[in-house]
Structures are given as C-alpha cells and as structure tokens.
Amino acid sequence: MLFHGKNVESQNYSIEHRGMTLIHAGNFGNKRILQALTKQMDAYKITPPSPAVLATQAIIGSIELVGCHWSESAYAYHWYFEKPHLWERQLPFVAKNILFDIPLQLVDSHGISF
C-alpha cells in the first residue's frame, strides 16, 4: 500500500527512527491477513494482485519515515512516509521480529540500489 499512494500507517507503538526504511513483505500464509490487505487495496482503488504474485519473505523496497505522532482520534501512532521506492529486484529475507536491522552489505551484495 505504501508504494501505491498510502503515506500514513497506524501502529500501536511509537518509533524514534527517521530516514530511510526498508519494507519487508512477510508471509501471507494467513488467509485473514491476505483478505485484510485486499480490503485495504480496494479502499484505495488499487487492483489487488493475485496471491500467487505477491512477494513473501523478502525486502521489496525502501521509503523515508519522516514522522511519528500519536492520534487521539485513531487511538494509535501514525507513522508518516515519503518517497516510496519499490525495488525491481526483491531481496529474500526471513524476518523474526516486526522491526529489525539488516546489514546494508547484504543489500549491496544483491545489486539493489535505493
């Protein structure tokens, strides 16, 4: 969604990081998650891809995280993004946590530029 016009993501926690952030596509083995994604894409008038072509367990792009603020109306933290860049080539990566560090040498070794 962040690569197709969405620039705010709601989370239940704050983050101090600002700057370039890598976006990871998790495992869509959970049907509920895929259905929720499809519903979100419909709301933004984006045609959802078939599940067969969705990237999983890979870093798929980068984006600038420019802010994080509490929203009383949403009762959540809003993360604000700019400059999305969907990579032409995915970087296979299995993430164990929601937020994680990745060595930039790994990105460089796959010939990915951002």
pTM of whole model > 0.85? no
Other C-beta atoms closer than 10 Å to the C-beta of 41 total 16
Average per-residue pLDDT for the chain = 83
Tens of pLDDT, residue by residue over 31-74, are 666 677 778 888 888 776 666 566 778 888 899 999 999 999 99
Higher pLDDT, 90 or 64: 64
> Residue with structure tokens 């008038």?
45
Bridge-based pairing of strands 19-25 and 8-11 is unpaired
